[in-house]
Structure 1
Amino acid sequence: MKILHTSDWHIGSTLYGRKRYDETEQFLQWLINTIENHSIETLLVAGDVFDISTPSNTAQELYYRFLNEVSRTNCRHVIVTAGNHDSPSFLDAPKALLKAFNVHVVGSAAEKGGFEVLVLKDGDNNPELIVCAVPFLRDRDVRQSSEGESYQDKENRLVEGIISHYQNVYEEACRERSDLGKSLPIVGMGHLFTAGSSIYKRAGETSGERDLYVGNLGQVPADRLPSFDYFALGHLHIPQKVAGNEVIRYSGSPMAMNFDEIHQQKSVVLVDIDDQHVDVQTIPVPAFRQFKQIKGDWNSIENTINKLKEESFTGWVEVIYEGQEAIGNLRERVYKLVENTSIEVLKIQNAMLFNAVMKQYEKEVELQDLNPADVFDQCLIDHGVSDDQKVVLKGLFSEVCRQISEADNQKE
């Protein structure tokens, strides 16, 4: 069977206020063509289908139109699991209808692992593959609270709960395979953070995937997860093997979610699998929009923009001024340079000003340049909180952030 693994579409996402529906639509059409060109039989979408839990009508239209078009190809099965950005109840709502089109949706974690075990059948109704379709596991899905437990206790309980859930689902899949009496491959799906995996960061801020966990909270050791024949992961935006293992992979996001990701080669994963052999290769995803990140002093920025104008560059640009000279009208200078061109500057950041704000709050800075953890850390410093208290307060703050991110606005 030929399987295509993808994740983290984030349909409806924005970049500094600009909607990205056109890029998403182009990617989804490219994905249809890839499914046809490579004779894909099963498509795995490992979470974060949408960017927010209440997707717009346009985002929903792109999603359902894609599923309709897939049903017209030779792809026999589509399996969609929820990520931390998705509303489990929203994804689950049409699952009975979508199942008629061989689209299997698992939005919510099941109390019994068997509900996440899918036996896929070929055109002659013979079992051909077992998939353990595990959605993003929220704290409430896997951890029992205990009075007086420490921050470290909570972390340990969360990780152990995630591991236990996957093990239960895998054992159920093995029992299912035994009952069928066939040597079927078992594929796992997950949306989680495995320990040691890469998150791309720019100095001083978090980039790419919005961190759901702070510090080590929620990082699961890969060697404690079941030995699936292939493990299709989502959540991290960088395509990568986990612990060097060819068959445990993050497909990564198909589009650069911010300017720090623009130099990454985005991809989907093609898996050719049978009961004896697994062959894995990546398929590069083309960039559907031009991006440029410009850093340096004023002369460097000016020269780079002039070069882009000569090249008739059409796309989105981020400008980060790193010079030592104080420039009070940086924004006006940049906009003047790109006037009457096809260059669209989405963000201008004065690094010298930004650093001054982070240290002394002497100047104003746009809120979008800060994330909640940055602001909270600075508040702790400003109020002279002791190091011991900082550890506790940061743990509590991460709990609050996680609970907010886990809120399912679609659930009644």
Structure 2
Amino acid sequence: MKILHTSDWHLGRSLYGRKRYDEFAAFLDWLAKTIEQERIDALLVAGDLFDTSTPANRAQELYYRFLCTVSNSRCRHVVVIAGNHDSPSFLNAPKELLRALNVHVIGSMTESAQDEVLCLLNNNTPEAIVCAVPYLRDKDIRTALPGETIDDKNARLIDGVKRHYETVCAVAEKKRLEFSKMGFTNVPLIAMGHLFTAGGKTVEGDGVRELYVGSLAHVGIDLFPSSIDYLALGHLHVPQVVGKREHIRYSGSPLPMGYGEANHEKKVIVVDFNGTAPDIKEIKVPLFQQLIRIVGSLDDILTTIEQLKTENSGAWLEIEYTGKDVVGNLRDMLDEAIADSTMEIRRIRNRRAIDRVINNICEEETLDDLDEGDVFARCMDAFDVTDEDREELTLSYNEILRSLQEDDRNAE
């Protein structure tokens, strides 16, 4: 039994307004070819297939076209779980139709743990048991209690996640025992999840959200039952082994989601269950669109651009000017510098101008320089909120944000 583990496609994501459908299409074409070349039996996608809960038609087209391609390949099974960016009802809507293509979709926590346990068969021979646990939303695993502290809330959330995995894995272990009694031994138990583990690595600008309010976002690896032979995780965009446990891994995102990931090697994970221990290898994902961040003085920036032009680069650029002089026509100068190339400037940060604006408390500052937390902090500053009240207000604000982000707009 050979599986391929991937996650965090974020189909439909743009980069500073630039659509990236060509990159997504190129990745999915490459993935389909890799599945054939590696003779993959089952594809596991650990959440965040789409970047938003209401994906555009073209993003949907890429998704369904890929599933049709894989269903006509040698790959016998596809298992998809929802991530925190996905709409559970949107993913679940065609699940009965997709099941005819051997595509199994789990969009949200099910009423019965048995529905999250999939037995992958080949001519009635069990090949693997998959605990397909989707992203567990706060409301799925915890009931709010009056007067609870943030520590109480975190403890109950951790307990809820742990109990859910224990319950689902117990069902899988029972099925494996039944298979063993039938003569099918060493059936691997594979689990999936979309969460944030303790010690997990992130990078600047990757768009990875904290999943819960407070510290629960980082759950310990001891939460997962020891019966799991391989745990395919999603949510973090950096490929990584969790807690030095080789069988617990994030595959990471296949495309760099921002310039902080531009120099990272992207991967998918192939796991071969051909004995008592899984044979795990990483496959590098090709770079479909070069992203380059240039930081420095105007001379440094222009020199780098000229060097890239000699290399016939078609990179998308993020430029941060850090020179001492205020350059009011920076955009015009940089556009002129790349005019005879195929490069694109996706963002310019004029650090000198920003510093001048902030230091002078100038009205030129824009929302592009702030995130939601910054805006809320400015509001508290404007209303002279005391330090004593800030922590509680910030926690409440973050909880409201999380609720809005998890709202399933496709549900009736």
Do the structures match in fold with TM over 0.5? Answer: yes
Paired residues of 1:45 and 1:81 also in contact (CA < 8 A)? yes
TM-score by length of 1: 0.95
Query: Measured at CA, do residues 393 and 129 of structure 1 come closer, stay the same or move farther in structure 2, by a change above 3 Å?
Result: same
2:245 maps to what in 1?
245
Deviations 1:183-213 (A, max 9, x none): 3211010000011111113xxxx54424444
* Counterpart amino acid of residue 351 in structure 1: R
Distance in 2, matches of 1:152 and 1:44, equals 34
Does 2:199 align with 1:196?
A: yes
How far has the Cα of 1:17 moved from its partner? 0.8
Paired residues of 1:356 and 1:363 also in contact (CA < 8 A)? no
1:111 maps to what in 2?
111
Paired residues of 1:163 and 1:220 also in contact (CA < 8 A)? no
Query: Measured at CA, do residues 66 and 199 of structure 1 come closer, stay the same or move farther in structure 2, by a change above 3 Å?
Result: same
Does 2:170 align with 1:171?
A: yes
1:155 maps to what in 2?
154
How far has the Cα of 1:215 moved from its partner? 5.2
Distance in 2, matches of 1:300 and 1:34, equals 40
1:349 maps to what in 2?
349
Query: Measured at CA, do residues 406 and 358 of structure 1 come closer, stay the same or move farther in structure 2, by a change above 3 Å?
Result: farther
The runs of at least 4 consecutive aligned structure 1 residues that moved more than 6 Å come to: none
How far has the Cα of 1:397 moved from its partner? 1.3
Distance in 2, matches of 1:297 and 1:214, equals 40
How far has the Cα of 1:330 moved from its partner? 1.7
Q: Secondary structure at the match of 1:255?
A: coil
Deviations 1:94-152 (A, max 9, x none): 11111111110000111321110001111x21111000000111111111110111222
How far has the Cα of 1:315 moved from its partner? 2.4
Distance in 1, matches of 2:359 and 2:117, equals 51
Please give the residue correspondences for 1:212-231 in structure 2 after superposition, counting only pairs within 5 Å: 212-213=211-212, 216-227=215-226, 228-231=228-231
Identity of aligned residues (%): 48
Query: Measured at CA, do residues 118 and 283 of structure 1 come closer, stay the same or move farther in structure 2, by a change above 3 Å?
Result: same
Q: Secondary structure at the match of 1:98?
A: helix
Query: Measured at CA, do residues 328 and 236 of structure 1 come closer, stay the same or move farther in structure 2, by a change above 3 Å?
Result: same
* Counterpart amino acid of residue 251 in structure 2: S
1:132 maps to what in 2?
131
How far has the Cα of 1:56 moved from its partner? 1.2
Please give the residue correspondences for 1:170-319 in structure 2 after superposition, counting only pairs within 5 Å: 170-181=169-180, 182-201=185-204, 207-213=206-212, 216-227=215-226, 228-274=228-274, 276-319=276-319
Distance in 2, matches of 1:390 and 1:186, equals 46
Query: Measured at CA, do residues 326 and 266 of structure 1 come closer, stay the same or move farther in structure 2, by a change above 3 Å?
Result: same
1:390 maps to what in 2?
390
Paired residues of 1:297 and 1:322 also in contact (CA < 8 A)? yes
How far has the Cα of 1:358 moved from its partner? 5.3
Query: Measured at CA, do residues 211 and 301 of structure 1 come closer, stay the same or move farther in structure 2, by a change above 3 Å?
Result: farther
How far has the Cα of 1:357 moved from its partner? 4.9
Paired residues of 2:154 and 2:214 also in contact (CA < 8 A)? no
Deviations 1:229-264 (A, max 9, x none): 000000010001111211100000000011111000
Name structure 2 gaps, 5 residues minimum: none
TM-score by length of 2: 0.95
Which deviates more from structure 2 when the two are superposed, residues 261-270 or residues 353-362? 353-362
Deviations 1:209-236 (A, max 9, x none): 2444455242211122222100000001
Query: Measured at CA, do residues 274 and 117 of structure 1 come closer, stay the same or move farther in structure 2, by a change above 3 Å?
Result: farther
Distance in 1, matches of 2:190 and 2:310, equals 50
Which deviates more from structure 2 when the two are superposed, residues 42-51 or residues 368-377? 368-377
Which deviates more from structure 2 when the two are superposed, residues 248-257 or residues 108-117? 108-117
Distance in 2, matches of 1:158 and 1:361, equals 41
How far has the Cα of 1:368 moved from its partner? 3.0
Distance in 1, matches of 2:290 and 2:217, equals 35
Paired residues of 1:158 and 1:218 also in contact (CA < 8 A)? no
Query: Measured at CA, do residues 69 and 402 of structure 1 come closer, stay the same or move farther in structure 2, by a change above 3 Å?
Result: same
Paired residues of 1:159 and 1:218 also in contact (CA < 8 A)? no
How far has the Cα of 1:58 moved from its partner? 0.8
